[in-house]
Structure 1
């Protein structure tokens, strides 16, 4: 029932009918309370930067008391689990990244169902996930990576920003197809993995957190784990080009608990679109190697549903089970 119609009806029923439910009153004033944006990774990576962009925008331009909180670990599933348990009042939201929603649920039991327990609000950035090494590495291209792994079984050490996430599974399946034995090293965030790479503790990283290091010339990209080329480096092969079983991209946005009222979804869709029109946003995403891409709630939801199905089928075909 529309609010105007409701109030007209209530007026006819008497003053007692004007005692609106708490949820309706809260929706009318949204956002009247502080909002927490949960990040499923450790501070310092691309996910952190993208979350802070939105938090800073609504805080500075819309007066929202927005805070960023980090929940790394457990394959990036801690933050989604907390959001799933939250009240649908818009005070607890999370940053969306592909792994804990369309990859990890096929690999292990989780305290949430990606298709039932969330409201997918909006997407605002895209970053190709890359396999990269230090700029001074002896590994010059993807063919060189494969040859090194063949000649040195188990010695190629590589890490990602989350265990059993999209990056991990895409590269693991690629190496399986090539018949190679390598050593996977888990980390709780992209910044931690890059620190290990720059400290020569591992040979390569697979993540979307390479932007600043690529700009400064400290890393070299060797392959992209998705389907889309990188405009600045069109010669880089993609996993689609190479014919590997899984090819995944990194899109980022925000989500909330299931049954989030439409008014709240609309509020954040508008905030995201307004933010994406600013010069600050264009500058900030360029600095981390991201590109703007917008999906409203309906398109975002359809994207998650379709990718959940496709990646689930691929993982089952590869023999990975819960």
Structure 2
């Protein structure tokens, strides 16, 4: 990769208007870019990264290559973003857990409020609690009743250990006086495979869309405020008054200090993508809902969520 092309592109773009000219965009496209994904291939994060890669390739000629780096709940990949050049050649898929949850629970080599550029968010996602369709648990309350009667026998998992879904569901169980057994997996796809194979009883993850469409799973509860919480029989964490019910989204972020014109290029491209047929198909696949936030709003909301999550973790008494 020729880094000087990205740097020269930033200089050209800096002089342009917020909606970039074709010539300026072509300058930025002189090299390929890498999109680091902190989860394993095959899950919702895979789909969320590839829709961006496919769109900018089709509409703007940029080759954006997803680079999957699973492990440690996404924190390893996040640190790689911190150490990347801030010229636009390396960006990453934003997910709540490694950036807004992990720093409260473990020592990480980055500061979420200082070490990154929050570029834009482009989709709201559901993170439901679900069981396989043949499960004896027809409702959330039936599952809770079983867990109360048989402590530790309920086995469950999330896409990222100690991530937002893990913390939120654990808080819900504590509220309901339920003791269950958490089973760690590297990613949501692996957890769902274990669920469908009968090795665990419940998964809390955004990796559910295709399985719901195929009729192989059943939604019981929704951890974040979004349209799935209004589906018949789906319990809302927010309505139940559980300690954590924070909206989740996918977006893009990069190292601190990215040129404002490169950020504007991505804002423009992602905003355009949300009006495309490709995006509509993507929403159907992941059961997401339309959302677009430019860098300023995305940064403000991320910082506010970081504080709120920390407050809830302190109340739960689980901060390390």
1:277 counterpart residue number: 275
Matches for 1:83-122 after TM superposition, within 5 Å: 83-122=81-120
2:173 alignment partner in structure 1: 175
Contact 1:104 1:165 in 2 (8 A): yes
Cα distance, 1:30 vs. partner? 1.8
Q: Does 1:302 align with 2:300?
A: yes
Q: Number of matched residues?
A: 302
Structure 2: distance between partners of 1:291 and 1:245: 24
1:119 is displaced (CA, Å) by: 0.5
Measure the CA separation in 2 of the matches of 1:227 and 1:58: 30
Change in 2 beyond 3 A, CA 1:150/1:231: closer
Superposed displacement of residue 71, structure 1: 0.9
Aligned 8 A contact 1:228 1:238 in 2: no
Deviation of residue 142 (structure 1)? 0.8
> What do residues 132-183 of structure 1 show as CA deviations (whole Å, max 9, x unaligned)?
0001110011101110101111110000000100000001111112222110
TM-score, normalising length: structure 1: 0.91
Structure 1 residue 31, shift from structure 2 partner: 3.2
- Give the structure with higher Rg (CA): 1
1:230 maps to 228
SS of match in other structure, 1:75: helix
1:72 to 70, 73, 88: 70
The aligned residue for residue 315 of structure 2 is 317
Q: Go from structure 1 to structure 2 and tell me whether the alpha carbon gap of 1:70 and 1:23 turns closer, same or farther (over 3 Å shift).
A: closer
Cα distance, 1:163–1:121 mapped onto 2, change above 3 Å: same
Unaligned runs of 5+ residues in structure 1 are 1-20
Q: Secondary structure at the match of 1:220?
A: strand
In 2, Cα distance between the equivalents of 1:169 and 1:288? Answer: 22
Q: Does 1:55 align with 2:53?
A: yes
Aligned match for 1:25, one of 5, 8, 22:
8
Secondary structure at 2:319's aligned position in 1?
Answer: coil
Q: Displacement of 1:22 after TM fit? A: 8.3
Q: Structure 2 stretches of 5 or more lacking a match?
A: 13-26
Specify the SS of the correspondent of 1:120: strand
Map Cα deviations across residues 81-120 of structure 1 (whole Å, 9 max, x no partner): 1111111110110000111111111101111110000000
CA-atom RMSD in angstroms? 1.5
Partner of 2:214: 216
